[in-house]
């Protein structure tokens, strides 16, 4: 059992992470600017409401709560949802502030949320990887402030790892498009449409290369990561995605329609194969995602989706 300080614990992903870690028996301290209503807070979770960018706040809260692990999720999480300079300054300062405060206090394990967008897909100037599936060795080429801020968050934890050695363990993870339990039930996802709509119109999922992950699988990943951090290389980054693609057709067929020039690169993405490899998390941590849209979408919604698929258009509406 660990004592885990989760920043951004009231957010879309944070709520599932807090609930998942608490259910595994950890003591969780959830820190966010926004509070979760008390009746929705899992039993035993301590909630702290604070602006982590206010001078001294991160250090004060860490000192008071004495965690042995930190999971840093707090950020502006949607590209272009604020002016570019605000996203850049907010996310990079949050990462630096939380990681440096936790390091100063000697917290043993520090995990930071990054994003697959660091790779640079969706660039208006065009983007193609060296090959599919992409993995942690794929060269990041961020093209907006959000993606750049996440790459800097990864590099921030690597900088501290380089300075501290193995005294403190650091890691970063890139969760694919997060789908929370209520979103399987029909609540709007991060981009404003439902999961069923995203499946029915490949143009909605194509900008993120059809990636996704269940928020509870991310919680399981983080639980395992915290357990294994003392015995894996320090400062690693992991993709965290579902085992399949958020698509009803093979990506070998879909990808060339939305990513010009990707025919040969995506030819191996047959069946349900996703565009993002999770082999590293499988091999280093033994993690396996347990949920898929095929198991989680409400059966009624799946029927609607099937019907919608017949008539759906394919235009992209997503800013990411």
Residue 291 binds to ligand NAD (criterion: CB under 6 A): no
Which residue of this chain has its Cβ atom nearest to ligand NAD in the complex?
11
Q: How far is CA 68 from CA 10, 27, 149, 165, 243, in A?
A: 20, 10, 26, 17, 31
Q: Choose among 309, 269, 288, 302: nearest CA to 131.
A: 269
Q: Choose among 219, 239, 119: nearest CA to 171.
A: 239
Which of 68-76, 223-231, 257-265, 278-286 is the region at the interface with ligand NAD (rule: CB under 6 A)? 68-76
Q: Contact with ligand NAD (CB under 6 A): which of 74, 134, 222, 275?
A: 74
Residue 178 binds to ligand NAD (criterion: CB under 6 A): yes
Q: Determine the 3-state secondary structure of 30 from DSSP.
A: strand
Q: Is the dihedral of CA 50, 319, 293, 313 positive or negative?
A: positive
Residue 32 binds to ligand NAD (criterion: CB under 6 A): yes
Which of 5-13, 124-132, 269-277, 293-301 is the region at the interface with ligand NAD (rule: CB under 6 A)? 5-13
Residue 111 binds to ligand NAD (criterion: CB under 6 A): no
Q: Which is nearer to ligand NAD, 179 or 254 (CB)?
A: 179
Residue 53 binds to ligand NAD (criterion: CB under 6 A): yes
Q: Which is nearer to ligand NAD, 13 or 206 (CB)?
A: 13
Q: Most distant CA pair in the chain: distance in Å?
A: 57
Residue 225 binds to ligand NAD (criterion: CB under 6 A): no
Which of 122-130, 171-179, 194-202, 284-292 is the region at the interface with ligand NAD (rule: CB under 6 A)? 171-179
Q: Contact with ligand NAD (CB under 6 A): which of 11, 120, 207, 241?
A: 11
Which of 49-57, 102-110, 128-136, 282-290 is the region at the interface with ligand NAD (rule: CB under 6 A)? 49-57
Alpha carbons within 13 A on the beta-carbon side of 177: 31
Q: Is-contact 200 309, C-beta < 8 A?
A: yes
Q: Which is nearer to ligand NAD, 237 or 252 (CB)?
A: 237
Residue 75 binds to ligand NAD (criterion: CB under 6 A): yes
Q: Is-contact 206 258, C-beta < 8 A?
A: yes
Residue 140 binds to ligand NAD (criterion: CB under 6 A): no
Residue 297 binds to ligand NAD (criterion: CB under 6 A): no
Q: Which is nearer to ligand NAD, 13 or 255 (CB)?
A: 13
Q: Choose among 6, 12, 8: nearest CA to 27.
A: 6
Q: Contact with ligand NAD (CB under 6 A): which of 30, 138, 155, 190?
A: 190
Q: How far is CA 289 from CA 167, 171, 213, 224, in A?
A: 30, 19, 8, 12
Q: 177-215 as b/e, with b when 16 or more CB fall inside 10 Å? A: bbbbeebbeeeebbbebbbbbbbbbbbbbbbbbbbbbbb
Give the footprint of ligand NAD on this chain (CB under 6 A): 8, 10-14, 32-34, 51-53, 73-75, 77, 94, 113, 115, 175, 177-178, 190
């Amino acid at each position: 059992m660990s004592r885990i300080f989760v920043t951004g614990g009231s957010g879309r992903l944070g709520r599932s992470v807090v609930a998942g870690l608490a259910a595994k028996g950890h003591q969780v301290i959830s820190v966010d600017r926004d509070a979760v209503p008390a009746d929705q807070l899992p039993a035993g979770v301590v909630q702290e409401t604070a602006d982590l960018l206010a001078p001294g706040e991160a250090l004060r809260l860490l000192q008071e709560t004495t965690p042995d692990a930190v999971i840093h999720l707090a950020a502006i999480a949607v590209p272009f949802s604020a002016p570019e300079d605000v996203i850049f300054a907010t996310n990079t300062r949050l990462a630096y502030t939380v990681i440096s405060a936790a390091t100063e206090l000697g917290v043993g394990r520090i995990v930071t949320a990054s994003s697959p967008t660091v790779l640079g897909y969706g660039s208006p100037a065009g983007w193609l990887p060296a090959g599919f599936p992409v993995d942690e060795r794929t060269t990041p080429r961020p093209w907006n402030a959000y993606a750049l801020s996440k790459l800097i968050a990864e590099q921030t934890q690597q900088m501290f790892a380089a300075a501290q050695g193995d005294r403190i363990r650091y890691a970063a993870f890139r969760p694919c498009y997060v789908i929370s339990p209520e979103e399987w039930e029909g609540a709007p996802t991060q981009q404003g449409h439902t999961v069923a709509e995203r499946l029915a119109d490949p143009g909605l999922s194509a900008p993120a290369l059809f990636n996704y992950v269940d928020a509870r699988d991310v919680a399981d990943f983080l639980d395992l990561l915290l357990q294994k951090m003392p015995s894996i290389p320090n400062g690693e980054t992991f993709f965290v995605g579902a085992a399949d693609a958020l698509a009803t057709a093979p990506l070998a067929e879909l990808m060339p329609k939305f990513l010009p020039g990707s025919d040969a690169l995506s030819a191996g993405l047959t069946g349900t194969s996703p565009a993002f490899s999770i082999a590293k998390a499988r091999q280093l941590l033994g993690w396996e995602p347990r949920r898929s849209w095929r198991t989680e979408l409400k059966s009624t919604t799946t029927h609607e989706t099937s019907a919608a698929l017949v008539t759906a258009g394919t235009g992209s509406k997503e800013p990411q």
